[in-house]
Amino acid sequence: MAGQISETDQIKQFKEFLGTYNKITENCFLDCVKDFTSREVRPEEMTCSDHCLQKYLKMTQRISMRFQEYHIQQNEALAAKAGLLGQPR
């Protein structure tokens, strides 16, 4: 069973995904859809929503990369500190 995600964790991840999806959808909708006089999505609205989603995805990727970099730096600092503390004077 090593490497498998439990059903509870899968449900939790799916709920988090749905929450994120709903938040993005609402934000992009509120920012991009201005005209409710037609059933059709206007090209400007489609372009705006595409850019909105792309911007969110790029921002999320960048935050993830910075988070990883930060943790690498923290681990290196801890390793260096542990190395200094472990050496006799």
pLDDT of residue 50: 96
pLDDT of 59: 94
**CA Rg value for the chain:** 22
The pLDDT of residue 79 is: 87
CA 9 distance to own-chain centroid: 18
Q: Consecutive sets of 10 residues in the chain, 89 residues long: mean pLDDT of each?
A: 79 94 95 92 95 95 95 90 66
pLDDT of residue 3: 65
Q: Which one-letter amino acid corresponds to residue 50?
A: D
* CATH assignment of 12-76, among 1.20.120.160, 3.40.50.10420, 3.40.1190.20, 1.10.287.810: 1.10.287.810
